[in-house]
Amino acid sequence: MNKINQLFENSKEKKLLSLYFCAGSPTLEGTADVILAMQRKGIAMVEVGIPFSDPLADGPVIQSAATKALKNGMTLSKLFSQLEAIKDQVEIPLVLMGYLNPILHYGIEAFCQRCVKAGVSGAIIPDLPFDDYLNLVKPIADQYDLRIIMLITPETSEERIRFIDDHTDGFIYMVSSASITGTQKSFDDQKQAYFRKINAMNLRNPRMIGFGISNAQTLKAAQDNAAGAIIGSKFVSLLDEAQGDAEKALDTLFEALQL
């Protein structure tokens, strides 16, 4: 069974925490250390960012990390090599998150093949049009048992959400707001209403809420309304401040989240 499906199957009563970091930032060779530190600390799933020069959905923190990673020399091929080196040590699901351009340049089938070889269970491609996902990407990804995770936002129609739910597997990435990534102190009434609305739809796929989670309050709100939460910008900032010391960054994050 795909590790993503296995995670949610085995954790139906547990509120999950997934973390994102950008491969190659703050150090080129830090990918393995960060992933293994997350695993030791009990993180349920890791999103590994593929750095790109024009990350449209990302706020300044992740944009800065991507710029640093590219300057450090990170490439998709190098990332795959780093992941392959620790494949046998990693038990938690790994999800690559990156934009369509580098993946198309690499080749969709070659990308899926290499994901399997590197122990990657899924991919999030924020700028992948859904029609292209259905017609071009999904048939190839399915051959390799790779989950392509789609995003929904407060602006996604109920009809579209149900269509996504019917044609995807793994989980749905529920973006807390239609803005770019970044931290928030709390989720306002409008966002809470959005969470309740999606909850009431009784979707087939589990959901993970991301964008804006940085403290105990936003973490609890996300975990109360979905299978779990995804934290990106807050951890990327802490990892940079800790100069790549993942253990230190995780300890500081857990303090902020009151875990």
Q: How far apart are CA 203 and CA 118, in angstroms?
A: 30
Q: How far apart are CA 84 and CA 7, in angstroms?
A: 21
Q: Does the annotation count 241 as an active-site position?
A: no
Which member of 58, 165, 169, 245 is catalytic?
58
The long-range contacts involving 118-121, CB below 8 angstroms and separated by at least 24 positions, are: 118/80, 118/83, 118/84, 118/87, 118/94, 119/83, 119/84, 119/87, 119/90, 119/94, 120/83, 120/94, 120/95, 120/96, 120/146, 121/2, 121/3, 121/4, 121/93, 121/94, 121/95, 121/146, 121/147, 121/170
Residue position matching structure tokens 């491609």:
125
Which member of 9, 29, 47, 247 is catalytic?
47
Q: Does the annotation count 47 as an active-site position?
A: yes
Catalytic residues: 47, 58
